[in-house]
Amino acid sequence: MTSGDTCSTPAPHRAASDADLGRAAHEPVVRTLLEPRSVAVVGASNDLRKPGARVLRNIVTHGYEGEVFPVSQGSEIVQGLPAYTSVTALPRTPDVAIVAIPIAGAVAVTEECARRGVRAVVLISADPPGSDDHHDALARVRERYPGTRILGASSLGVHGGHARFAGNFGTATEGEFDFVPSDVFILSQSGGVGGYVLSAAHASGLKIGGYISTGREVDLTFAELLTKTVDEYAPRLVLGYLEGTQDLAAFSSALQYARQRDVVVVLLRGGVTGAGRSAARRHSGLEPFDDESWRAAVDGAGALTARSIEEMLDIARAAASRRCRKDARFSVVAASGGATVLMVDALAQEGFGLARWQDSDKAELRRLLPEQAVLDNPIDATGAIFSRRHTLRSVLEVCVRHDGTDAVILTLGNMPHLDEHVFAEISAIASEVGKLVVVVWAGGSPDAVRRLAGLGVLAFSDAARCAYALRRAADIGPA
C-alpha cells in the first residue's frame, strides 16, 4: 500500500515470503525516514511537556510540506490540525509513523501500522534495557510484516535537511535552523549525543543533510543504516556515535562498503573504559565493543575516529575540505611571532613539515611587508599585514603561488573592527586557488570560525585542533 491508498479492511496476518524480504531489502529506507511524503504522529498532544507534542511542533514549525496526521485519543484538534483516533482511522496511509506513547501500547500500534502498510515506524517510545518482552514482540512484528521497518525503540527521531523534516522530540532544531540538502549525515545510537552533534555542527557552520537516532535497534541497525545512507544519498561524510553492535561482521562490512564508495566515516565511540562499557550496556542494551574488535573494524576500513564531539566536527570539516597529503608542506603566516611558534609546533607534532622558502621566493614578500617582518617560514608578517586594505590578500597570493607550498595556514585573532575586511580577503583567496587555505582564529571574535565556514573557509579556534584534524583527514588521502 502506498501513501496515497485509502484504508479499508486491515490486511490479514501472513508470513513473510522470500519475495517480501527481497523487496524490503531494496526499499529506500533512509530516504523514507528523512523525506517522507506524509507522517503520522501517534501520541500527538497540545501539552509541550510530552514527547509527542514536541515531535508534532518540530515538524509543523520548520516548513515541512508533506501531510501531517496527529493521532490522539484525547483531542479532535491538536496544534491546529485535525486529529484521528488511530492509525486505522487515517484517511490515507502515511509513509512514516512516529510513535510517542508508552512502550506497552507502542507494540500494538506498531503492528497496526504494519497492517496498514506504513513503510517505517519511528519508536520514540522508551524501551529500557531488560524489557526483553517488548523487544521480542517488536521483532515478531517485523518478521511478520517485512515491508514495515522499525527505527528504535528509544529513538529520539530523525532530522531530514532535504525535506525540512524535523521528525524528532529534541531541542537541537528549536528556533532558527538551516535545513539544507547537505551531503553530510549523522547516525547515532544515542539520541542525546546525536542531538549534541547536530547542534554543534550547525554552530560550527557544518551543514547536516540528515540525522537518524537508532535507539535500541530492534530492527534497523547502525550498520544497515550506514549502508543504506551510502546507497541512497552518496554522502561525502557520515558522522557516527555508537557504543556496541549486535553483529560485528555486519558493522565491519558497512564500514568497508562506505570506504569503497569513497564516503568518509568519522566515528565517536562510547564505552572505552570499564565503567563506560557498563554504562553503555545499561543505556543501549548492546554489547560494547572491545578495543581489539573496534580497532580491527575501524582501521581495516580506513574510518576515522574522534575522542570528543568537537574533535569529530573538526575532523569532519577538515575531511570535507581539500584534503592535504600526509607529506604536505605548509607555509604558515601570522600577525604574531608567538602564533607562528604554536602553529609550527602543532604541525610538527602531527608529522607535517614546512615549505622551504629561498631568498628569491621572499623578495616579493619583502616588498609587501616592513623590515621587522620575519620571512623565513613560518612568516611573522606583523600587524602590518593589515596596514593597507589589500596587503593580506597580496601576502596570501604570494604564499599560494609558492611552488614548494601545498597548503597555507593563516593564524589571526582579536580584530573586531577588521573582521569584514579580513573575511572578504581570505574568502577571495580560498575560493580562487587550488591549494588548501586554513585559518586558525585563536582569540577574540568568537563567531569568526562559523562566519568563515559560511564563506567556505576551513577554520579552527586553536592550532593544536587544526593540526590534529588535518592529520586525521590526511590519513584517508586526498579528496
Among the residues of 41-102, which ranges form H helices? 51-60
Q: What is the dihedral of CA 107, 148, 68, 57, to 10 degrees?
A: 50
More confident residue, 16 or 177: 177
> Each residue of 236-256: pLDDT tens digit?
999 999 999 989 999 999 999
| Mean pLDDT, range 269-280, rounded to an integer | 94
> How many angstroms separate the CA atoms of 152 and 157, rounded?
8
Secondary structure (3-state) at 421: helix
Type of residue found at 185: F
Please report, for residues 104, 266, 267, 322, the alpha-carbon distance to residue 317 in angstroms, rounded to integers and kept in the order given.
42, 11, 14, 10
- State percent of the chain over pLDDT 90: 73
Residue 220: closest CA among 1, 3, 28, 52: 28
Q: Give 107-110's long-range contacts (Cβ < 8 A, gap of 24+).
A: 107/134, 107/137, 107/138, 107/141, 109/42, 110/138, 110/141, 110/148, 110/150
Contact 109, 101 (CB under 8 A): yes
| Mean pLDDT, range 209-230, rounded to an integer | 96
pLDDT score recorded for residue 322: 67
> How many angstroms separate the CA atoms of 21 and 19, rounded?
5
> Cβ of 302: how many Cβ atoms within 10 Å?
16
> Each residue of 374-386: pLDDT tens digit?
999 999 999 888 8
**91 pLDDT tier (thresholds 50, 70, 90):** very high
Please report, for residues 52, 338, 345, 347, 465, the alpha-carbon distance to residue 342 in angstroms, rounded to integers and kept in the order given.
50, 6, 5, 9, 11
pLDDT score recorded for residue 476: 79
Residue with cell string 586525521:
472
Average pLDDT value for the chain? 89
**9 pLDDT tier (thresholds 50, 70, 90):** very low
pLDDT score recorded for residue 448: 87
Burial class, 455, CB count within 10 angstroms (exposed 0-12 / middle 13-18 / buried 19+): middle
Retrieve residue 276's grid coordinates: 563506560
Residue with cell string 607555509:
331
With 80 as the cut, is the pLDDT of residue 229 above it? Answer: yes
- State percent of the chain over pLDDT 70: 92
Among the residues of 302-411, which ranges form H helices? 309-320, 337-349, 359-368, 391-401
Residue 423: closest CA among 392, 385, 444: 392
List residues bridging with 294 in a β-sheet.
none
pLDDT score recorded for residue 352: 97
pLDDT score recorded for residue 14: 39
**285 pLDDT tier (thresholds 50, 70, 90):** confident
pLDDT score recorded for residue 19: 43
Secondary structure (3-state) at 86: coil
